[in-house]
Amino acid sequence: MEAKEVEDTKSNFRWCWFWLVSVIAILVIVAGVLAILEDLKDSKKDSASHHPGPIVKKYADALEIALQFFDVQKSGKLVNNRIVWRGDSGLLDGIEMNLDLSKGMYDAGDLMKFGFPMAFTATMLSWAILEYGENMKTVKQLGHARDSLKWITDFLINAHPSENVLYIQVGDPELDHQCWERPETIRGIRPLTQVNTSFPGTEVAAETAAAMASASLVFKKIDSSYSNLLLEHAQQLFSFADAYRGSYSVSIPQVQNYYNSTGYEDELLWAAAWLYHASKDLSYLKYVTELNGQQFANWGNPTWFSWDDKHAGTHVLLSRLNIFGAKGMSSEENLDLQMYRKTSDAIMCELLPDSPTATSSRTKGGLIWVSQWNCLQHAMASAFLAVLFSDYMVTTQISTLYCHGKSYSPADLRDFSISQADYILGNNPMKMSYLVGYGSNYPQKVHHRGASIPVDANTTCKDGFTWLDSINPNPNVAVGAVVGGPFLNETYIDSRNNWMQAEPTTYNSALVASLLSSLVRSSSVVDSFT
C-alpha cells in the first residue's frame, strides 16, 4: 500500500472515530437532559406527595369532634367508647333469628337501625379513609375512623346470613317514634325486616355491597382475612341485587315514610364501581361502561349526591379511573369513562359560584341548599366531591377546568369546599356552628333521645317525652352531631321539637368527616388505592 493510501485510510479512520465519539457524546447529553427532566418531574411529584401543605388546625379540631358522634350512635356491647353518658344497648337485636345484630349504629335521634343509610355511612367513611387516611393519621384520627367503620361492617356481615337474604332494618319505626327513651333502656325484642328473592331490594343490597367492597380496601393491608370476607359478601350482595331487581320501597312500602328510594340504577353502578376497585375484575368495569353506562348513568345530567342518589359520587369515582388510568381497559370502556369524566366536569361547574352554569340552589350566604329536610347533607357531599376532584387534578397536573368557555383552577374548587365547611363551622349569618361541640355557639337542644335524657333518669317509653318537651339544654352533649341545618333564609330554631332542623344523622357525620379530612392539610395529593 502506498504512503498516500495509508494516509487516506488513517484520515478516514480519524473522521469515523470523530463522528462516533460525537454521536456518543450527543446521546449522553440527550440522555442526561432527559434524566434531569424526569428527575424534575419526579421531584415535583415527590415534593407534592411527600411535602403536603401544613395542617389547618380548625379542620383538624373539627374532625376530632365530628368522629365522636359515631361513638354516640353505637349500639351493642361498647368497647373503649369515648362518650361517658353512653352504655351498652340493643344486645338482643337479631336474637329471634339467631343473629347477632347488636352492633351497627342508630340512625339519627331515634333508636332505629336503617340499613340503607347505614351502609352509605360506611361507604363514605371508607372513601374518606382511602383518599385522606394519611391526613387522618397525621392528626391521630385514623384509628377512630377505622374502628367506627368496622363497627358498621361487623353488623352488615351478620345482617347477610345467606347469599340472597339481607336484613335491612332493626326496630319498628312506628313503635319507636311512640317512645322517647335512652338506648340503654330499650326493652324486649325488636322486629327485623329483610329483603330476599321474593321481596327484593336492589338499592339497599347494592349500597351494602358498595360499603363492603370499599371497606375491603380499607382493611386490605391491616387485616387481609377480614378484607377478603368483606369482598366475598360484597360480590354476593351485588349478584343478588342485580339478579333480583326491584326497589325495596315497592317490596316493603312502609319504608317509604322514612328512607324512600327514588331508584336503584345509581346504586348498581356505584356498587360495581367499588367492586372493580376492590377486585380488579374487569367484568365490573364492563358493567358500568359497555353494559349499563348508557342506560343507568344519566350522563350529562348532574344530580345531587346523597344517601338516595349516588350518581354524582359514581361519576367522580369513575373519573378517577379516567384521570389515573386503568389496566386492561378497552377503547370503548375508555370512551364511556370519558362520559363519566365529562359529567363530573359539569357537576363541578354547577358548584362553582361564579361559573356560567352555577346552580341557584344556594343561600345568599353561599351554602348549597337543596331541601329543607337535612339541608346540610347536600352541602357537605358536594363540597367533598369538589375538593376530591380538585386533588385529582393537582395530582395529575391538570391545571384547568373549563365551564362554558370560562376557566377555573383546582384552587377554585378547593375554595368552594372551604366555603361550605366554614359555613357549617360558624361563618354564617347565625354565627352558629352546626357541628355540635365545635366553637362556643352550637345547638344546645339537639333532637336526640340519648342526649336529652339524664343518665340517672328513671323513665319509661311514654314519660320520657317530658325531656323532649323541656325548654332546657340537653343534659348530655351529642358531640360531633351535625344537625339538619338552616332554612333557606339562613335561620335556625334551636328546639328539640324542631326535628326538621335539629335532628342529626349518622350519615351526616360520615359526610362531614369526609369533608374535614380532605381539608386537614392546606393542599393534598391523593394516591391510587387499588
Half-sphere exposure of 148 (CA within 13 A, CB side): 34
* Residue tagged active-site, from 160, 233, 277, 447: 447
Burial of 427 (0-12, 13-18, 19+ CB in 10 A): middle
Contacts within 8 Å (CB) and 24+ apart, 256-259: 257/173, 258/112, 258/114, 258/173, 259/114, 259/116, 259/117, 259/307, 259/308
- Say how far apart CA 135 and CA 517 lie, in whole Å: 6
**345: closest CA among 377, 297, 299?**
299
Answer for the pair 496, 449: CB distance below 8 angstroms, yes or no. no
Residue 51 annotated as catalytic: no
Q: What φ, ψ does residue 243 adopt, rounded to 5°?
A: -75, -35
State the alpha helices, DSSP H only, in 297-409. Answer: 311-324, 331-351, 376-395
Reduced DSSP (H G I as helix, E B as strand, rest coil) percent helix, strand, coil of the chain, to 5? 55, 5, 40
State the alpha helices, DSSP H only, in 161-301. Answer: 173-176, 202-218, 224-243, 248-251, 256-259, 265-279, 282-286, 293-296
Q: Which helix (H) or strand (E) holds 489?
A: none
Cell matching residue 51? 411535602
Cell matching residue 287? 358493567
Q: What is the DSSP letter of 473?
A: P
The residues carrying an active-site annotation are: 447
